[in-house]
Amino acid sequence: MAKLIDGKAVSAKVKAEAAEEVKVLKAGGITPGLAVIIVGDDPASHIYVNNKKKACAATGIHSEEYALPADTTQEELLALVKELNEKEDIHGILVQSPLPDGLDESAVVEAIDPLKDVDAFHAYNVGRIMIGNYRFLPCTPAGVIELIRSTGVEIAGKNCVVIGRSNIVGKPMAMLLLHNNGTVTICHSRTKNLKEICRSADILVSAVGKAHFVTADMVKEGAVVIDVGMNRDENGKLCGDVDFDAVESLASHITPVPGGVGPMTIAMLMKNTVTAAKLQNGIA
């Protein structure tokens, strides 16, 4: 039976470390600040933003929410980003995804000052991740690395398989595993022999967004299984990409959904905001 990887416990540790750093910065007259922009009325996005605000309050980070109507124009959104780029008490800028139809998300991300890009989505930061000389790491992949480390399992030398090739999770996840000396394979919708490749994984990370996609016959006995998926099953219940009940008996360690990767994303955002405040004040 697999050991559960407790994302809530690991995220609490990361947030506690960030809170200690915030205390030190405040003693030196610096209060890290995060601005979150949300456009439109997507209910899930509003829940995420509220959770981020709560995490900021708990960590001692100053937070500002900019809730814009769904009919906001590209020009208005870019003007707000420009204003926040120039605001000295704001060190991190996050634009909540998805944006309403008609808005160019990539153009908005590219408008954010790379030093304030706490999501690490700007091409400048993506390039730095690629070469291994990064300032910020994307929150979800960075959180996954923390969860793997919490198991005591070494990434170095392990066969690591990532299912999914998104710019937000799949691609950066592969790079972070590679930077930790894993031997990495990325699988996607065109991959042949998917089951065989997944079964070779000592560390299997699924970020495909399909409920119960990873079945027991895709998992090697003793593998570490990280489930990034956040889906609804046929009964509307929250679940991951992994068929948890079937895979749990095979894996050595496994993340639950919810309570696994989810809490880590916001914890790493707090860490990135602290890093951004230090960078902009010449401390890091």
Here the CATH number for the domain that contains residue 74 is: 3.40.50.10860
Task: Give the integer Cα–Cα distance in Å for 254 and 251.
Answer: 6
- Contact in structure between 215 and 246 (CB atoms under 8 Å): yes
pLDDT at 66: 97
Mean pLDDT of the chain: 97
Q: Which residues belong to the annotated binding site?
A: 164-166
pLDDT at 278: 98
- Could you tell me which residues are annotated as the binding site for NADP(+)? 164-166
Percentage of the chain with pLDDT > 70?
100
Is the same domain home to 165 and 110? no
Q: What are the Cα distances from residue 283, in Å, to 24, 44, 258?
A: 12, 36, 36
Structure confidence at residue 246 (pLDDT): 97
Question: Among this protein's residues, is 8 annotated catalytic?
Answer: no
Domain holding 99, by residue range, is 30-114
Q: Is 74 a catalytic residue?
A: no
The active-site residue, picked from 15, 96, 271, 280, is: 96
145 and 105 belong to one structural domain: no
90: pLDDT strictly greater than 80: yes
Residues 224 and 251 sit within 8 Å (Cβ to Cβ): yes
| pLDDT score of 44 more than 90 | no
Q: Going by DSSP bridges, is the β-strand pair 231-232/238-239 parallel, antiparallel, or unpaired? A: antiparallel
Q: What is the number of domains present in the chain?
A: 2
Active-site entry in 113, 117, 119, 202: 119
**pLDDT of res. 1:** 86
Q: Which amino acid is at 277?
A: A
pLDDT tens per residue across span 217-233: 999 999 999 999 999 98
- pLDDT category, 284, cuts 50, 70, 90? low
Asked whether residue 218 is domain-assigned, the answer is: yes
Active site residue 192: no
Cα–Cα distances (Å) from 96 to 3, 133, 269, in that order, read: 33, 26, 13
Among candidate residues 114, 147, 172, the one where a domain is terminated: 114
